[in-house]
Amino acid sequence: MKSRRKRTLLFLSLIVIGSLFVYLTRPFVQNETDNENILLQSKTDTEQLKISLQQQMKRNESDALYAIQDTQQVASIGSSNELYNVASIRKSIISALFGIAEEKRLVDLDMTLGQLSVDDSKQPLTKQEKSATIRDLLQARSGIYLNALGESQRMKDLRPKRESHTPGSFYYYNNWDFNMLGLILEKETKMKIGDAFEQWIAKTVGMKTFSPSHVTYEKNEETSIPMYRFYMSAENLARFGALYAQDGKWKGRSVIPIKWVEESTMAYSKISDVDRFSGYGYLWWLESNAKNPLLWGVGSGGQFLIVDRKNNLSIALLNDTGTSPLSTLTYHWFGQESTYAEARAIHRLLIK
């Protein structure tokens, strides 16, 4: 009798352990391979350049680099077709979707949250907060200071007191704004974020490995506004950046309105406390340089998208921060974050 009970307990334990293993190792998204979307290789994509780039990447733990110039591949290092969580670069991506949606007259950037009938049911907005516009959110100047998914401890520590600034009057890098933009885009366009990106951008620029399922959502009990995540390959992210390097065009075809490219990359706020960035546009970090100003999309864990419009160059540098519960935990315990200095060094190598 006891032996049977022991066997039953052992069997149940194995089931629990097996189920836990499956859960921990199941990827958040599934990669899709396709060898038909290869870009023409530039003559500047040499073995010597590859060696120099690899040496630079080894100084940190970057896993993938892909660079595009004039719609040609100038560098491909590491696992450039694997999916990565691009973290806060998602914000620059959704900025582009708003630009396209505005051109299609699906959104009005000057509508207020009150007019849009959107709210945070777990943290109801005040009358003042409801007066914030979509444009205020794009500039991170909403004046809405509430709990939000995806906040770092630093963001929480710097969060101003509620209603301490009126909408449009003060810059604060605010995940509540960014997450709400995802909800607004879906409400006004009647499309999921992943579907909009696939139809409006991915198909046009040849992202054959992108799937709408690569945009996932996270929820919690503090806020009713979910956080959207983008999982992308370095190559596909570089293709997205190339649109901004080429005035919104891909091989002569307009994808993102040139008006939006110019408008979204103007500095609406001066920045003095984030590395060498000098300003913030519509969800883009700006680095002023009289000779060559750069656009930056930046995500925690060492995710970088650099757009060099002067040299028609787009650089995606990504780090594997985990694509399953187990690999994500492993990164947080043992992983190393790539640095701005590394990203800038790679940019310098590519423009030599």
Q: Return the pLDDT at 60.
A: 72
d(CA 55, CA 329): 27
Query: What is the amino acid identity at position 250?
Result: W
β-sheet bridge partners, residue 150 = none
Q: Return the pLDDT at 10.
A: 61
Range of the domain at 217: 44-351
Q: Return the pLDDT at 46.
A: 85
Q: What is the DSSP string of 113-126?
A: HHHHT---TTSPPP
Q: Return the pLDDT at 22.
A: 46
Q: Return the pLDDT at 41.
A: 83
Q: Whole-prediction pTM value?
A: 0.90
Q: Return the pLDDT at 87.
A: 96
Q: Return the pLDDT at 352.
A: 82
Helix/strand/coil for 303: strand
226 assigned to some structural domain? yes
Pick left, alpha or beta for residue 115 (phi over 0 → left; psi -120 to 50 → alpha; otherwise beta): alpha
Domains in the chain, number: 1
d(CA 238, CA 70): 12
59 assigned to some structural domain? yes
Angle subtended by helix axes 47-58 and 340-351, to nearest 10: 170
96 close to 260: Cβ distance less than 8 angstroms = yes
Pick left, alpha or beta for residue 206 (phi over 0 → left; psi -120 to 50 → alpha; otherwise beta): left
Q: Return the pLDDT at 335.
A: 73
Pick left, alpha or beta for residue 185 (phi over 0 → left; psi -120 to 50 → alpha; otherwise beta): alpha
Structure tokens at 15: 């089931």
214 assigned to some structural domain? yes
Q: Cβ of 324: how many Cβ atoms within 10 Å?
A: 15
Structure tokens at 51: 């060696």
d(CA 176, CA 37): 36
DSSP state of 37: G
Those residues whose C-beta lies under 8 Å from the C-beta of residue 299, and which sit 6 or more positions away, are 85, 86, 87, 88, 89, 90
85 assigned to some structural domain? yes
Structure tokens at 162: 């509620």
Structure tokens at 172: 């604060």
Q: Looking at the chain, list the stretches that DSSP marks H as alpha helix, in order from N- to C-terminal side.
A: 2-25, 47-58, 89-103, 113-116, 127-130, 134-138, 153-158, 175-189, 193-197, 234-245, 258-264, 325-334, 340-351
Compute the mean pLDDT over every residue in the chain, rounded to the nearest whole number: 89
6 assigned to some structural domain? no
Find the CATH number of the domain harbouring 163: 3.40.710.10
**With a cut of 50, which residues of the chain have pLDDT below it?**
22-23
* Closest by Cα among 121, 179, 125 to 148: 179
Angle subtended by helix axes 175-189 and 89-103, to nearest 10: 30
